[in-house]
Amino acid sequence: MKLKTLSLLMAAGLASFAGHTAVTDAMLANDAKTTGDVLSWGIGTEGQRFSPLKTINTKNVGKLVPAWSFSFGGEKQRGQESQPLVHNGKMFVTGSYSRIYALDVKTGKKLWKYEHRLPEGIMPCCDVINRGAALYDNLVIFATLDAQLVALNQETGEVVWKEKIDDYAAGYSASAAPLIAEGLLLTGVSGGEFGIVGRVEARNPKTGDLVWVRPTVEGHMGYTYDKDGNKKENGISGTRNATWTGDLWKTGGAATWLGGTYDAKTGLAYFGTGNPAPWNSHTRKGDNLFSSATVAIDVKTGQIKWHYQTTPHDGWDFDGVNEFVTFDLNGKRMGAKADRNGFFYVLDATNGKLENAFPFVKKITWAKGIDLKTGRPIENPESRPGDPAAGDGKKGKTVFSAPSFLGGKNQMPMAYSPNTGLFYVPANEWGMDIWNEPIGYKKGAAFLGAGFTIKTVFDDYIGAMRAVDPKTGKIVWEVKNNAPLWGGVLTTAGDLVFWGTPEGYLQAADAKTGKILWKFQTGSGVVAPPVTWEDKGEQYVAVVSGWGGAVPLWGGEVAKKVNFLEQGGSVWVFKLVK
């Protein structure tokens, strides 16, 4: 404890150095409007990924050229899904295998590097990726694959505090960028394929000490913590056994693996929850709350204020973790979510009431639509994988289902432009053969009870960048892509949309028409979201390049189709040529 206190004092001292500005709550609350930095995942806690910058626009984007590039180096390539942060002349960017770098934002020079020492027994489901960090005070904080949180001094890279989230040997891991809201550090957990219990945690970002914990599986107790670390019960999530069979809630999954968003106008943090465990839905009768859903949590109390379940009694691994992006519509504060199950949802951000729901992919077989009165899917019963117990007890009936469990949209965050009123969604068209098998829980072992093969749906494309109108449900324009899209989106007041492709291109399109105006080959597949900022009137765009993630690991026939793609690990920064 003395070492932690000393480190905190050192960090506070460095925060007063000339030229250094500590990151405050006010700065984070204003991140979406300020243009000289990028302080949060989502370019603002609401997650709109919209920049008011327009120095680079539809008329001159064709003149973008590289300013610098930095390689993560070594043999540790794999998937690079990180969103960079920019502050005090530094870029903070995470890499695969739980690494983080501080770079000179003008030159790309490495200032420091921290490489977390990972044990051999880690069990990440979907590659050794990391999606980014959080900034607070003089700290940069990120999560690791062995389920820890590490806070480093922004100036030196020295460890200020380190806290364990949970036991990696039980299947827990962490890869999402933490969220700072109302002076609290909010994080989730990964590991839904191992029968872990999903939750959201709030910590003091300066010390790492717990403030509250909110489980996202119905039946588990929440807790609050005082300044001495003593915990107090804070109510059970939901009602025990109301939507779960027997003791299955104890290993229920519902991992909060993508992290969350926060809206100061509602005072709520929004976290998506993953699949219930196991995948074999015949073992767990009921809706299985709060899995495959969005939960809205009061940041001050840790209580769930409302929830909306996109896939009740999920039998296809349609995790509901996709980001919930808040925005204004017809004088109301709304939230939108492009779910893995193929439907786009528009909800009242204050109470979770469904306002609209419609497909954003072309082929959906598991449901006929969404009942706007009840909010529930109109399920096709024949599209649910068969019960092994109804046959030979070894394997249930195989069904074809679309989308595949990799989703109409997966981890890659969408963007919203208040200028056009459109969401820009990286969508994928694919399906799967899926079947159920008998399964029992064993600590640290995969807890699926299902087999699958991912298949293409159309001959000419898999991925498609789609401009979606949340009012009408119409796809205003689309840009098709041969390989699946797996990287996030940035949109700007310059009427541009930026996104990357597995084939290696970062490209920009007209936000109103979808016309491609510029593209650049980064040397490896892009599976990360771009960012932009300005310095002394000059606008920059950056993206991390490095093919990987879930597709080459789980993609079946699709993985074979894109096995020619090369891995990598680098950051690219662009500016207009003078």
CB-hemisphere CA count at 13 Å for 242?
Answer: 11
Has 317 been annotated as catalytic? yes
Look up residue 112 and give its amino acid. W
- Asked whether the CA dihedral 552, 557, 562, 563 is positive or negative, the reply is positive
Among candidate residues 127, 137, 317, 319, the one labeled active-site is 317
Q: How far is CA 136 from the centre of its chain?
A: 20
Closest CA to 179 of 294, 262, 301, 91: 262
Contact (Cβ atoms closer than 8 angstroms) between residue 40 and residue 540: no
484 DSSP 8-state letter: P
CA 334, CA 173: separation in Å to the nearest integer? Answer: 31
The pair of structure tokens assigned to 452 is: 């699958």
C-alpha distances in Å from residue 91, one per residue of 108, 225, 535, 577: 8, 34, 13, 21
**String of b and e for 269-282 (b: at least 16 CB within 10 Å)?**
bbbbbbbbbbbbbb
> Strands, E, within 174-292: which ranges?
179-181, 184-187, 199-203, 210-215, 221-225, 231-236, 260-263, 268-272
CA–CA distance, 113 with 103 (Å, rounded to integer): 9
H-helix or E-strand spanning residue 295? strand 293-298
Could you tell me which of 211, 166, 207, 163 has the C-alpha nearest to residue 186? 211
Sequence letter at residue 353: K
Half-sphere exposure of 460 (CA within 13 A, CB side): 3
The strand order across the sheet containing 430-436 reads: 399-401, 430-436, 450-456
Q: How many CA atoms lie within 13 A of 95 on its CB side?
A: 26
Positions annotated as catalytic residues are 317
